[in-house]
Chains A and B, each alone.
Chain A
């Protein structure tokens, strides 16, 4: 019927961005916990057990770079020399950063009432996120690689 068609058309804009971001938040949340856990288990199996304090273990979980755990006297730091650890660390950081920054975006959307301010804050947030991703690419693949 013409009337229902008009009603249906009027309401659609069809953006799936929010749906994808919601799904990504769930998946990345599970993934980065598992990846962090794997990092800790690997570090301990590779000789870190007894040598690393809790802080070093936590740093190792989410950013296993040798100078983060300098004090621990562990000899087995991957140091991003191996492509597997490079990609693994980059994915871990990208998942964590995107997950967190998207969370801030959702909070801004919920609480900032002025559209112009919201647009500026979202742009700033995007720049921070993009800067972090670029810095991590540089650190993992160029500087330390």
Chain B
């Protein structure tokens, strides 16, 4: 089938503003949107720039806006998006070129919530054991691949990049509700500040955008509850 791909392109060295370029590609219904991008770059226009690494929905490199929704290009099939496909770079982050955005503001917010195990107690000889129930408590938020689809779908984040954003809160949730971790109060104090969870107005864009199906807004709600009640359950 013939597919019309419209891509929002921008080269800061040549263009004063982004423009839409249209390509026509032969594709199978079961092709992924990423296959179309690769085909365009290989056979039609070598200057097209996009990120991709594993191409199997695990590394989180190729999150883009497909027909207005934040999706991983490597997970989205042509048969699900139709014959007319519109692709643009993630919103809310500076565009470096074409579909490539500067992820540094996103990772800065990620680092601010201390995304690592904090436990100064001496570790046992082999490992810190955890029950399956305790592991299940935060299982959902361990699925995050840091693709930035949620954060860049959030109107609160578009309005103000001071907001830590859903992805950072998801990562904080992963450690706050881990019973081996001892840094929960420090993270909750960071997220209780003006740039933290209270900027979330439960718009649910993040949950809709997450390619891993994480219940992002629910995770944010659980962090809000932990901050207000002071209890981590």
Contact = CB atoms under 8 A, between A and B. Distances in A.
Contacts of A15: 192-194
A82 interface: no
Chain B: interface secondary structure? Answer: helix
A113 B159 CA distance: 8
Chain A: interface secondary structure? Answer: helix
Interface in B108-131: 112, 114, 118, 120
B27 interface: no
B97 interface: no
A106 B202 CA distance: 14
Interface residues of B, number: 20
A1 B182 CA distance: 13
Interface stretch (B57-65, B76-84, B98-106, B183-191): B183-191
A13 B228 CA distance: 17
A2 B196 CA distance: 26
A110 B194 CA distance: 10
Contact of A18 (B114, B156, B192): B192
B186 A109 contact: no
Interface string B42-66: 0000000000000000000000000
A16 to B, nearest CB: 6
Q: How large is the interface on A (under 10, 10 to 19, 20 to 34, 35 or more residues)?
A: 20 to 34
A23 to B, nearest CB: 6
Contacts of B190: 11-12
A111 interface: yes
A111 to B, nearest CB: 5
Nearest to A5: B120
Given A12-B189, A18-B196, A19-B228, A113 B160 contact: yes
Interface string A106-128: 10011101000000000000000
Nearest to B188: A19
A23 B228 contact: yes
Given A11-B112, A111-B160, A18 B194 contact: yes
A11 B185 CA distance: 12
B194 A111 contact: no
A1 B196 contact: no
Contact of A19 (B118, B120, B159, B192): B192
B193 A111 contact: no
A74 to B, nearest CB: 40
B75 interface: no
Contacts of B120: 1, 4
A1 B118 CA distance: 10
B38 interface: no
A141 to B, nearest CB: 33
Contacts of B95: none
A106 B160 CA distance: 12
Given A8-B118, A23-B228, A18 B159 contact: no
Interface of B: 112, 114, 118, 120, 156, 159-160, 183, 186, 189-190, 192-194, 196, 198-199, 224, 227-228
